[in-house]
Amino acid sequence: MHEYRFQATPETVDALRRLRRAWAALFISERAIDIRLVDGTAVRIEVEAADIEDKFEAFRINACVQAGADVGMEDVVAFAKGGNDIVLFSGVTWSEPGAEVVGIELQPGAVMHFSGHPGQLSETAEVVCITTDAFVVASSIGAGLLVRTGLKPNTLQVVRDRETITAFLFERGYQSDA
């Protein structure tokens, strides 16, 4: 097995830490999220791709700080007080010989690619890449925002539903200190 790491950079971690502060505005699109903070700075969140090996691509969360980005207004009341908590999650992308995994015939030499959390990694994986594939922001009043790499390459999925976020946290083995 060949193992690689494509995890959040220190710059991404620093930018995401800023989401602990009070939010002023939020704009969500399929490929990016822009969050303007009360202090006037903004955090832009996107997906970054990397070619790991021939025909093997991995995706991670990437964030940067921007000066005063003009973002659309969306309800951010739940995050406007500051004191938000943020948790980053590791994911894994791996490849396996196609016919052995799903029981169908593929062309000779073809492989299947999978993404999930580290607990889902198969013992027969050939190429593995550990990524930073998601984060959750929890507000001081109990609201949450889950952001993760989307099913389509270079896209983000944003979830606000409390039950879905709770299920995600449980699946990933996260337990609060509280």
pTM here is 0.88
Asked if residue 177 is part of any domain, the answer here is no
Q: Is residue 125, in this structure, part of any structural domain at all? A: yes
| 32 assigned to some structural domain | yes
User: In this structure, is residue 178 part of a structural domain?
Assistant: no
Asked if the structure places residue 148 within a domain, the reply is yes
Asked if residue 176 is part of any domain, the answer here is no
Give me the domain span that covers residue 98.
Answer: 2-171
Query: Is residue 30 situated within a structural domain?
Result: yes
Q: State the pLDDT at residue 136.
A: 97
The mean predicted confidence, pLDDT, of the chain is: 88
CA atoms of 9 and 60, how far apart (whole Å): 10
Query: Environment class of residue 153 by beta-carbon count within 10 Å: exposed (0-12), middle (13-18) or buried (19+)?
Result: exposed
Report the number of distinct structural domains present in the chain. 1
- pLDDT for 99: 47
Is 52 contained in some domain?
yes
pLDDT in tens, 126-144: 899 999 999 999 999 999 9
pLDDT in tens, 32-41: 999 999 998 9
The pLDDT of residue 178 is: 53
